[in-house]
Amino acid sequence: MTKVLAAEWARHNILVNCIAPAYTETEMTAGMRNSPQILEQLTGATPLGRLAKPEEIAGMAVFLASEAASFMTGQIVLVDGGWTAI
């Protein structure tokens, strides 16, 4: 969807990108984080060995909204602590 929308809307100077975050320390993940076994599985599968902090995901959103990303469209940016690297 990201790539199709980026291609369709580029002629209107509309940029379309996607942030694909890993598990992040939010209310939605509180149940998983409160289970030592699940937390160990998640952090063990992440090369950085921890969950993301919300501000780490927000940093990518700030970048994508900035002029620094003005020639970037149709991209899926993984902010996953290396989850997909292994």
* Domain coordinates in residue numbering, the chain: 2-85
Residue 5: pLDDT band with limits 50, 70, 90: very high
Mean confidence (pLDDT) of the chain: 97
Model pLDDT, residue 86: 86
pLDDT tens for 8-27 read 999 999 999 999 999 999 99
Class of domain 2-85: alpha beta
Q: Tell me if residue 47 falls in helix, strand or coil.
A: coil
Element (H, E) at 79: strand 76-79
- pTM: predicted TM-score of the whole model, two decimal places: 0.86
Model pLDDT, residue 28: 95
pLDDT tens for 51-73 read 999 999 999 999 999 999 999 99
Tell whether the torsion through CA atoms of 45, 50, 54 and 56 is positive or negative.
negative
